[in-house]
Amino acid sequence: MEQAIFCGGCFWCTEAVFKRLKGVISLRPGFTGGFIKNPAYREVCQGDTGHAEGVIITYNSVEVSYEDLLEVFFSTHDPTTLNRQGQDLGTQYRSAIFYKNDTQKKIATQYMADLQNSKLFKNPIVTTLDPLDVFYDAEDNHHDYYDQNSSQPYCQFVISPKIKLLTQRFKDKLKNK
């Protein structure tokens, strides 16, 4: 089992996307990259803790590669907007990858360079790549948020389109129902 940490805006979105992939054993929403110990959601939302909302994914690398996770990550959020995803504004919604080892750093660095060179995005990629220091779990009410609240307006307008894109573009990478 390996772990990957991605921050792609609201962690409800990121969790909803990655939990549907084959090979993902578990994942937890939470916070990383800041300077406050044991932050609470209400503190992170104010934008002054330095933390980003993200997920820590435990996965089976035989079933899903780190490169596959990167492809899904960069396909389901906008890596060209600084400190913003849609209407969610602030450093807590930044696009970031936190690596656990030199191999992940090398793979992510090359992946981002190839993606930038491909000109797939009109604007430059602003996703940061940093070593993981500590990951703090979000409160329980944020776990499986989309699946428990999918009829709420935010979920319908922001998360559901990401799930639709995932199911159309990555059919072969999805868990069997």
Q: Annotated catalytic sites, by residue?
A: 10
Instruction: Name the helix (H) or strand (E) containing 67.
Output: helix 66-75
List, in sequence order, every residue forming a beta bridge with 88; answer none if it has no partner: 85
User: What's the rounded Cα separation, in Å, for the pair 28 and 148?
Assistant: 15
Backbone angles phi and psi of 59, in degrees to 5: -140, 160
Backbone angles phi and psi of 175, in degrees to 5: -65, 150
Q: Which pair of tokens denotes residue 158?
A: 């922001």
